[in-house]
Structure 1
Amino acid sequence: CDMLLRTGQAAEAARRAAAFVADPAMSKSRYRQLGMYHLGHARFQLKQYLPAGKALSRLAPFKQDFGLHCRYLLGRVHHLSAERPEAAAQYKAVLDGYADRKKAAEQALRNPAALKPPRRVLLERLARGPEPDYVMRASFYTALGHAENGRYADALAGFAAFVKRSPKSPLVPEAQLRQGICQAQLRKFPEAIVILQPLAARPDMADRALRWTARSHVGAADAKNAQTYAQAITNAINCLRQAADRAGQLARTDPTAKVRRGDILIELGDTMQLLRQYPQAAAVYLQALKENNNPQRADEAMQRRVTALHFAGDYKGSDNLCVQFERTYARSTLLGAVLFRKAENAYLTATAAAKNPALANRKKELARLFGEAVRRYARAVKKYPDSKYANLARGGLGASHYRLGAYAEAIEALSAVPEPDRTGELTAVDYLLADCIIRTLSRDARDAVQ
């Protein structure tokens, strides 16, 4: 079985190991545990993680010579099954166990005459030889677990220690990439860029390195300095373009790279919007939708395109896409954002018409346009009263009523915006509310005089 596993014949190894451990005659054999280990190892190589875990768990408390490797495989089973605490416990047991065994081997070798030759060779390899690959990997995956749990400082220290401890490991480039990602997550953007830039030359990780380099450029950008901000975002856009190209090249043989390309295109569009490049962003979102590399984010790409078209001033195009979105993704959590943007399209179309001195049938046409905005805002508020766009929709609803001269309705809508939220885009709420009250009082006073 060991030779079959070494030569990549995991299915045959699993078949033979399963037959061996199932044989009643082998139930008390001293080799039965070895057979169970080979069965678990083979199942793991076949990505049959549940049966692999069951086989390996039966070897507890892992005192065998191969026990630490059992623990490592079991840790990987847990990790790949998103059971991170259990995985971390197994990795720690591997690292601690290896340190204990190495120390015990060194002590035993102080009296080599008491050891049989095969045992002495094994202990010498343990005490003086390089760390086994699985021990190095346990160290790497421990750091990865920290990163996955958001403990980026611990992860950064772990990856740095891994690179120093195992400089010849094939996982060193991946560890360096993860160091850069951790630096970015810790907002140490210049340090992240320094680590990530050389890795962009590696075809197997270029798209990820470029993507996080782009994020670091965005993170380091100073919005208070228009010139340097624009340059930083431009650098990020260039990195993301390259990242999308590299992911596309890898996608021919790597399905995960195909998904990453879809995600990168969405991020590219988002970054373009930071520089108000709305038409270009809309085109990128359309590309992401057509390629459909990540179907799980298709609604996200369409919602972002709705927004980009809106800010590009293409209200009709945005409206048409809103209709398509609601028809296609009626249960999407992003529908609230789309309904709000649809209402904004109507309101801005109406305000643009109001500025046109040559508008035909002006009074009737403006009543129609602002009336449509009222209907859309009201629907957005009613359907999603707690969404992050709800207060903006209430503000827009109040403003639309105001433009129609429906001051009582405007007061009702505007008053529903909590006072602490009347900042930023909602700064005008208090002004409109006060004006509506004054106009209402003035009207009431006139009515009283009459």
Structure 2
Amino acid sequence: YLGCAAFALDNDVLAGRALSRLAPFDASPYAPHARYLLGRLHHRAGEYSEAAGHYDAVPVSYEKQLAAAKQALGNAAALKGGPAEKAFLESIVKGPAPDYVAEAIFHSGELYYEMKGFADALTRFVLFSQKDKRPLWQEENRLRMGMCQVRIGQNAEALKTLQPVQDHARLARSVRWWMAKAILTMADGKPADAAEHLKKAVAAPEVEGGPATAEIQLALGDALERAGKGGEAVAVYQAVVAGNVRAEEGLARLVGAHAAAKQYREADAAADKFEKSYPGSPLLGDVLLRRADTGFAEAQAANKPELYAEAIKRYEKVLGSASGAGANAARYRLALALYRTGKIQAALDSLRAIPEPERAGELAGASYLQAECILRTTAPAEDATDAVVAEGTLQSLQEATGLLQKFLPSAGPQAPEVMMKLAHSLRQTAALLAEPGERVAAANGARELYEAFRNQFATHPLRPVAEYERANCYALAGDNNSAIQKLERFKADPMAAAPVAPLALLRQAQLYRTVGQPQPAAQILADCRAKHEAALLKDPARAAWVPLLRYHHAAALKEIKQMAEAAQILESVVKDYGASEWAEPARRLLKEVKP
């Protein structure tokens, strides 16, 4: 009784001394209650291991006491305490379990939650829901169950658990807060739905132990931004700043919200205010990054070089002070801005500074952009005129290949373009490899990717290009006959209508000449020119193919001894394309067919 009284008066030291004297507890009829109170005392003192031992012992001790009481009542004549002892034992057997038995389970759940043992905590809260039916306790317990479910990733289950108490007079703020957390954590969760819960949470009265108003407002602003409602987020963050609680964080986020709402001047003003008000803030790096992002977004919207230049300066300023994740984010976005302005090598240098382990989430795109920069700054394999140049080109292609292979599994909507670039990189690599086995392996790897593209993206605009390059891979692997056969499809629709069809037919003609069959080569090019040349002349992107087709047509005619026709075509190349790269080869060949 002394222990109970001291506990009620919050005299924890006296209560602990009195209750501990009941040990060993199995010998005392008050063991379950004593251990419950000791669990509460140790819990309040932060002595979690001792508290857990006492809490878990309460239901076990009570069940032992209940079993012993039933056994003793079976032989009532042997009771030494007479009617009083019998009445006590009957109260144990016939009466409901004391409240503290279930409460020990509940508080044990709280304890494990505080220790971040969320699965163990959930097990205890579920057990409590089965043992105790008091409404107030059950409502609180439902909240705790939902919290645990969110913590262990059972978000859909958490929403079902919490929904019945979402409008509870006392718990609504916490319940809505955790429902919003569950939605924002779900892969298919809608930030707008989370924002609605957070709006109701912030409108509910504050309660002890629940989320503070500023905390909810910050989460609400974030949810609104994610939902594409930057304007609403601006108002929320402005309220945080005005409330002067977590104003520093609110002002930092206000910069990004203004940018999301395309309020670029306001974003700049907010960033200036933050830099002046909180010069030593740990959030300054993030604010400077958001400010640079604002400049980049404005540059993209206006497509003005001077705005891109300003964004680049801002990212460089971030890199002057940032480190870790903030610096890597700045490097990636700086590379994007540099890439947009055509500064490909500078973009590549920035991307190479991002460590491989950091390339996750947003930064996963760094690998793709880096590969794109490498491919754009690497000369075609056929331009490698000596061993040194070839080795450098090969190293660049192998770097690009590795980056694209790592990025492809997470490419999502970019998968078609990534797959095509990866196949291109492998095909170019094959063209540089001197060892036949290695060359064939690389060519076959590229071909398999083109075939996978054809199967996965049959209606994609790049499908004809994949078919064309697939045939080139057969040729690289030494199978010219298969390459010729695969290119045959460009003579009939739908492939014949593809923009790449003239090149595919030219390639087929070249392969026929390679295997010693110039006659079909000449016919293919004659048909190709008749069908496509007029359209090519009207297309600025493909007009340069005309002298190429004419030259190879003339070369095929020369091989089948039709010198007059070949000479006529070569003269047209010299006349119409005298300044092109094909003029001089045409003059040389013309001397051979028309001495």
What's the TM-score once normalised by structure 2's chain length?
0.54
1:212 aligns with 2:161: no
Q: What secondary structure is seen at the aligned counterpart in 2 of 1:105? A: helix
Superposed counterparts of 1:382-401, under 5 Å: 382-387=320-325, 389-398=326-335
Match of 1:122 in 2: 88
Q: What secondary structure is seen at the aligned counterpart in 2 of 1:61? A: coil
Larger radius of gyration: 2
Q: What secondary structure is seen at the aligned counterpart in 2 of 1:43? A: coil
Task: For 1:108, give the aligned amino acid.
Answer: A
Deviations 1:202-259 (A, max 9, x none): 211122233333444445563xxxxxx7xx444333222222222xxx23xx3545x4
Match of 2:407 in 1: none
Residue from 334, 339, 357 that aligns with 2:288: 339
Match of 1:27 in 2: none
Residue from 272, 290, 304 that aligns with 2:224: 272
Residue from 23, 28, 37 that aligns with 1:61: 23
1:243 aligns with 2:201: yes
Q: Which moved further from structure 2: 343-352 or 70-79?
A: 343-352
Match of 2:147 in 1: 181
Match of 1:322 in 2: 271
Task: For 1:301, give the aligned amino acid.
Answer: G
Q: What secondary structure is seen at the aligned counterpart in 1 of 2:42? A: helix
Match of 2:133 in 1: 167
**Cα distance change of structure 1 residues 164 and 37 upon mapping to structure 2, 3 Å threshold:** closer
Deviation at 1:82, TM superposition (A): 4.3
Superposed counterparts of 1:5-24, under 5 Å: none
Match of 2:470 in 1: none
Task: For 2:365, give the aligned amino acid.
Answer: G
**Cα distance change of structure 1 residues 267 and 405 upon mapping to structure 2, 3 Å threshold:** closer
Distance 2:97 2:329 in 1: 60
Deviation at 1:36, TM superposition (A): 5.1
Please provide the CA RMSD for this pair. 3.6
Match of 1:381 in 2: 319
Deviation at 1:280, TM superposition (A): 0.8
Deviation at 1:171, TM superposition (A): 0.9
**Cα distance change of structure 1 residues 333 and 173 upon mapping to structure 2, 3 Å threshold:** same
Q: Which has the higher contact order (CA 8 A, sep 6+)?
A: 1
Contact kept, 8 Å, 1:180 with 1:193, in 2: the verdict is yes
Match of 1:155 in 2: 121
Residue from 131, 147, 163 that aligns with 2:97: 131
Deviations 1:306-347 (A, max 9, x none): 222222222332233334434555555443322321222344
Match of 2:5 in 1: 38
Task: For 2:171, give the aligned amino acid.
Answer: M
Deviation at 1:176, TM superposition (A): 2.2
Deviation at 1:124, TM superposition (A): 2.5
Structure 2 unaligned spans of 5+: 380-595
Distance 2:33 2:158 in 1: 34
Deviations 1:330-379 (A, max 9, x none): 555443322321222344445556x35xxxxx8xxx3xx65654443234
Residue from 422, 425, 428 that aligns with 2:369: 428
Match of 2:214 in 1: 262
Deviation at 1:281, TM superposition (A): 1.4
Distance 1:329 1:62 in 2: 59
Contact kept, 8 Å, 2:122 with 2:145, in 1: the verdict is yes
Structure 1 unaligned spans of 5+: 1-33, 223-228, 357-361, 439-450
Q: What secondary structure is seen at the aligned counterpart in 1 of 2:10? A: helix
Deviation at 1:186, TM superposition (A): 4.7
Distance 1:150 1:281 in 2: 32
Deviations 1:257-312 (A, max 9, x none): 5x4333322222222222211111121222233335xx4x5544333322222222
Distance 2:30 2:281 in 1: 50
Distance 1:401 1:288 in 2: 36
Contact kept, 8 Å, 2:285 with 2:322, in 1: the verdict is yes
Task: For 2:284, give the aligned amino acid.
Answer: L
Distance 2:259 2:378 in 1: 32
Number of equivalences: 372
Task: For 1:237, give the aligned amino acid.
Answer: A
Match of 1:8 in 2: none
Distance 1:170 1:125 in 2: 26
**Cα distance change of structure 1 residues 350 and 330 upon mapping to structure 2, 3 Å threshold:** same
Task: For 1:43, give the aligned amino acid.
Answer: D
Deviation at 1:86, TM superposition (A): 3.0
Match of 1:96 in 2: 60
Q: What secondary structure is seen at the aligned counterpart in 2 of 1:164? A: helix
1:308 aligns with 2:275: no
Distance 1:255 1:184 in 2: 21
Task: For 1:98, give the aligned amino acid.
Answer: Y
Deviations 1:53-94 (A, max 9, x none): 754675362635545434323322333444433321120122
Q: What secondary structure is seen at the aligned counterpart in 2 of 1:313? A: coil
